[in-house]
Amino acid sequence: MVLYKLEDFEPSYQESFDGHDIKGLGVYTQGTDEKVGTVSDVLVDEEGHFRYLVVDLGFWIFGKKVLLPIGRARIDYNIDRVYTIGLTREQAEDLPEFDERQTLDYDYEERVRGVYRQPTDYNNLPVEAATPLDPLAGLDPLGTPVAPLGTTPTYARDSYTYENEPALYGLNEQDHQTLRLYEERLIASKRRQKTGEVTIGKHVETDTARIAVPIERERVVIERVTPADAGTAVSGREADFREGEVARIEIHEETPDIRKEAFLREEVRVRKVVDQDTVETQETVRREELDVNSGNLPIEER
């Protein structure tokens, strides 16, 4: 029978216990509530069944680790404690020390089981008693086989199975238990994520603008006209002949004076608006239902 450390057998074992970790839980004696030590590891068989808790007896025996059969332990996750059933300090001293480098063979386990198989313990256990091969074994008031007072059960090396001794390897059950049924529901939430980015800037474009400017130009107009008294003789004093007489007239014209000025053309206002929409999605959810197998026993559901 090969045993494995729980983490080596199933690295994600905590998922099976709703995130709880049995390793590190404090170990206490049932009834007296005396702290014995802590759980340092768990050993499982080839099918993953819990067989032993490795307990560090730091509060009783410093530096000693021993094996506690799972049937002699009760785990209470509500207060994160492990309770030992019937373990005494004397038994702890008699237990062989657990060494990870040591091979856990049948002989070693028999040494461990031998400490827990004290006849008084077997006959005092109310329900979970061993099923020995001894044909002289009797039954307790509930019909469970027990070893005769003053004897210990015996087993064969080749035919031994953990099921032979439910007192050591059977999971302890309470008279009243709460079985929680779970179901999955869709929980809607929103996650804000960036879907894009709008960049708004400006650039300069050039164009050719045309403008019409009215201008004025001056020009000289020379008119020759015949006066009404043409041909009339004039006196020598009126006839004033002069050479080189010049008449000067200034000529002007307008030229366009073009300059550029900047004017505000328009404003661009940037803002965001939120559009609301409803998105529907679907997922497969699971729900636990209760299966009751009572045989012929009457069951009352409330």
pLDDT score of 134: 40
Q: Is 52 domain-assigned?
A: yes
Cα separation of 217 and 209, whole Å? Answer: 25
CATH number of the domain residue 103 falls in: 3.90.50.10
Residue 258 has pLDDT above 80, yes or no: yes
pLDDT digits (tens, 9 = 90+) for 237-254: 777 777 776 778 889 998
State which residues form the domain around 105: 4-126+153-164
Q: Is 115 domain-assigned?
A: yes
What's the predicted TM-score (pTM) here?
Answer: 0.49
pLDDT score of 11: 85
- Report residue 290's pLDDT band, with 50, 70 and 90 as the boundaries: confident
Q: Give the residue, 301 or 109, on which the prediction is more confident.
A: 109
Q: Give the residue, 169 or 292, on which the prediction is more confident.
A: 169
Beta strands 81-84 and 26-29 are parallel
Q: Which tokens belong to 87?
A: 């373990």
Q: Give the residue, 145 or 133, on which the prediction is more confident.
A: 145
Q: Is 81 domain-assigned?
A: yes
Burial state string for 125-150 with b = 16 or more CB within 10 A and e = fewer than 16: beebbbbbebeebeeeeeebebbeee
Q: Is 285 domain-assigned?
A: no
Q: Is 100 domain-assigned?
A: yes
Average pLDDT, stretch 108-130?
63
Q: Is 76 domain-assigned?
A: yes
Closest by Cα among 127, 99, 132, 126 to 113? 132
pLDDT score of 300: 73
For residue 266, give every residue at least 6 positions away whose Cβ sits within 8 Å of its Cβ, in sequence order, or none: none
State how many domains the chain has: 1
Beta bridge partners of 69: 52
Q: Which tokens belong to 238?
A: 């009126």
Cα separation of 203 and 112, whole Å? Answer: 88
pLDDT score of 129: 37
pLDDT score of 55: 95
Burial state string for 260-287 with b = 16 or more CB within 10 A and e = fewer than 16: eeeeeeeeeeeeeeeeeeeeeeeeeeee
Q: Is 277 domain-assigned?
A: no
Would you give the distance in Å from CA 271 to the centre of its chain? 36
Average pLDDT, stretch 22-48?
91
- Report residue 84's pLDDT band, with 50, 70 and 90 as the boundaries: very high
For the ranges 68-72, 139-143, 210-214, 274-278, the lowest mean pLDDT is seen at 139-143
Cα separation of 155 and 184, whole Å? Answer: 47
Per-range mean pLDDT, top range of 13-17, 80-84, 190-194, 236-240: 80-84
Closest by Cα among 52, 55, 50, 56 to 104? 52
Q: Is 210 domain-assigned?
A: no
Residue 39 has pLDDT above 50, yes or no: yes
The overall average pLDDT reported for the chain is 80
Beta strand ranges found along the chain (DSSP E): 4-5, 26-29, 35-44, 50-56, 65-69, 73-76, 81-84, 138-139, 145-146
Burial class (CB in 10 A: 0-12, 13-18, 19+), 257: exposed
